[in-house]
Structure 1
Amino acid sequence: MSKMSKPVNWTAQRRAVFDIVQASHDHPTATDIMERLSASGHRYAYATVYNALRYLTEKGLLKEVKIGESASRYDANTSDHAHVVCVRCGAIAEFEQAPPAPWMDEIARGTGYRVLSAELVFHGVCPACQGKTDDPTDSGAAAR
């Protein structure tokens, strides 16, 4: 069954939250979404935004992106794709690359699991941070 086949009860709040995430390319956190809603004239409680995010995620309209210990981020691109995270500033970029089917098959054979989905996260230094040399602990400089 397709994720999109579930009926959606669109409220004004859910639509506003969805529209903010859909227009964003930076995978906003709930706090980011609250700030953007406020800047556009909406005044919603945090609970309303969190409930809308949970509902839209459960309906398959948004994807929750959880990377390490950081706050959850939200993505309107629900297709299989990978993310790359900057180890300096935390910026996230995505690219349309699903995990190769042989990987999924091998993991299923090796574990006995029926693999349903996968999330790939790569770590690196974004273009904006590459020119900065203020981080002496950046071991990636030698690899460039």
Structure 2
Amino acid sequence: MPAKAYHTPQRQAVYEVIWESGDHPTAVEIMDRLRNRGQNFAYGTIYNSLRYLVDAEYILELKLGDNASRYDANVDDHHHITCKKCGKIDEIYADLPKEWLGTVAQETNYTVDEPVNFHHVVLKGVCANCQS
């Protein structure tokens, strides 16, 4: 976590679990991984740490259609794709087509200046492992 953050050992531990993961863990998965490391924090501590880290923009909270939020330490603008069969989540770095932004502007009657914070775009499909 960047040095400018007001962080506690608990926040640092939560951040490290998310940073080291490649699977966008839920709060429960984060807690389980902390326990596996010998770090036992109360649920409230985990949730408060997650809220702080999201609000301070050190992590992203992803709402991908299931009930539980997932967390991502990659705060660069990017998209996600989820497998409808196994639930795997991957990151996408492709730019959105300018035509799509024009369609959004036309449908919503907004003037779209530039794509900002498009990490909320989520696509669904079937991953290569589930296609066989």
Q: Residues 80 and 97 of structure 1 are in contact (CA less than 8 Å); yes or no, is this contact kept in structure 2? A: no
Matched, 1:34 2:31: yes
- State the Cα RMSD in Å: 2.0
Aligned residues: 126
Who is 1:120 aligned against? 121
Q: Which runs of 5+ in 2 are unaligned?
A: none
- How far apart in 2 are the matches of 1:84 and 1:108? 23
Q: Percent identity?
A: 44
| Length-normalised TM-score, structure 2 | 0.83
Query: What's the CA shift for 1:101?
Result: 4.7
1:1-144 equivalences under 5 Å are 7-104=4-101, 106-108=103-105, 110-113=107-110, 116-118=116-118, 119-131=120-132
- How far apart in 1 are the matches of 2:127 and 2:31? 26
- How far apart in 2 are the matches of 1:17 and 1:113? 38
- How far apart in 2 are the matches of 1:113 and 1:124? 29
1:30–1:66 Cα change, 3 Å: same
- How far apart in 1 are the matches of 2:47 and 2:95? 28
Q: Residues 99 and 120 of structure 1 are in contact (CA less than 8 Å); yes or no, is this contact kept in structure 2? A: no
- How far apart in 1 are the matches of 2:28 and 2:95? 29
- How far apart in 2 are the matches of 1:57 and 1:126? 28
- Could you tell me which amino acid in structure 2 is paired with residue 80 of structure 1? D
| Length-normalised TM-score, structure 1 | 0.77
Q: Residues 20 and 33 of structure 1 are in contact (CA less than 8 Å); yes or no, is this contact kept in structure 2? A: yes
Q: Which runs of 5+ in 1 are unaligned?
A: 132-144
- Higher-Rg structure is 1
- Could you tell me which amino acid in structure 1 is paired with residue 85 of structure 2? R
Per-residue CA distance 1:18-60 (angstroms, 9 max, x = gap): 0000001100000110000000010001110111111000111
Give the match's secondary structure for 1:53: helix
